[in-house]
Structure 1
């Protein structure tokens, strides 16, 4: 027993010393005017961009084209940089540093007078040491132990190589599915609206599956638009089944694609729904990368963007409208007006359901009720996936 506890302690110490800094999110804070109201000039007498770095550590250092001293505020650092900058390095003596490349998060370069938010976390002490401790506890008692990092209504499940899956809890409930009144100009496939009851809580991905996650599981990246924090695309429904099977072997969990009803319920905001047409807003530009706003200097016709760079919906879930279509588990079938409990779609068919619209789609395809069918072997540079966890 003493030797085992000593081994655990030594492993704990080794893991702790290997901690590193990691980026949780980086985005333009569109409604934050601090860069304008509390400006700092660059060498050309232009207002700088301001990056507010959320990181609960003292003694953090930054490297890059920084103007003046970094301001240490309560719970965050204010870093002023001239427009055009593309990277910022974050350092601390007790952690491996992280280089933040803005383009990985959908920001090609900083703009003058704009405020940005960067969230940096320390990783992965809790996830690894908790797994080690739990492996010991599991051998000593019959009560199952969780290996999850839990915060509020979210969980974070480590996969490997520093990659985790963040998931949001969706409480069971009853809703109207399909062409409800707030859905403007619905198509026939969305009719009739009908009552659906989901009797079980479930966890759904906070973000679309990224290329980093796909790569660490599959060992390859099929995507057309490359970037670790971009959603994976060019994956068929069949590809997704292979990915999920390998992911489950790695994690010991039971991931799957969402049913169409689960997907729409989560997109509408579950029990917190405000009745929006899109997932989180009636203004599509708030929540979705779609045809009309997804263009860039590199791809004039548009492209995917880093997950989580638009506004979240009522449950804190990102990109359920736009960016990439998301495969559902169901065969595509016509709706009935009858009430349903835990529906799983048609028994068979020629196509599987995909939902949510994409960077390449018109606004109508991004409605929370919009649905389309595709053969399960179809893949395109606007089709990806989001995971659900079965307990």
Structure 2
């Protein structure tokens, strides 16, 4: 298997079915517990699905993610006090990456924020969404309303042929072609109201589609009727994001890591880096100025044996870091990983060793992404 084995996704949480549960099973999906749901890890195999997405277009069910709508009197300054984002520069319909931080600057979650006409649409991680909702309720004033959009599903259509497949199916005031990376708009998709943004978690061009859960099976059928599209499971989603050098919450970032250690400075807007006024600002502003003792880096390993989360990283006999994500890259035909290492050993080209199954494997610090992003940014 090119990525995590199925048991890596098993979590001790009460399981709920996704809106597409029967749809996945009818297509032969192998279902595993993840983030409180039974989710499809693969249909025909992780390598085949990974390669198909890189070459054509794959449909991912990401309805386990939390979709929230934040609205009410004073919502903009209230949300700015909780997130390190500059909402004054956030245009309507344009998603932006941000972070939910604790008082010490540790990462509670990473998320996407979009300005809608009456408030802000947030997409948060599935495994943390209930904690996120509780945190927001605690820290936002009573005048601000948090609506959990639990009657909505979320699909991701990813790959170089995603646009060709989706353009046939949508209508609306906005041409799909006008959406560049990190832009969104309302459309009709198979006659169903949908919010579509040009974004994703694979490094490929693609779209994320929020729509009513009651319509998602019919829409998924319609999308998969397109010759470019196949359904893709959780396993290939993880191997694709690993090649794209994208962090996974709970693995590559946790409350024990700061955004600066994790290389996520872009999630903190420029004005906030000096003004502060968000949780953990003191530590983060200090780390921006002074640096950190460790950094999150990419690693390319020699041989074919992959390093998994928790593998220790060495220079000589001294441990200098720990792997947070790792697997075998189908695109590169070699194992890759991401790890936190001591800052003095974090420069690209640095030679390290990773201990896997009692053996020391040679590894080289590598820039990320391992496979270049192919986001559609316009001409």
TM-score higher than 0.5 here? no
Q: TM-score by structure 2 length? A: 0.23
Structure having the higher Rg: 1
**Higher share of residues assigned helix:** 2
Instruction: From the two aligned structures, give the one with the greater strand fraction.
Output: 2
Which of the pair has the greater relative contact order for Cα pairs under 8 Å at 6+ separation? 2
Please give the TM-score of this superposition, normalised by the length of structure 1.
Answer: 0.23
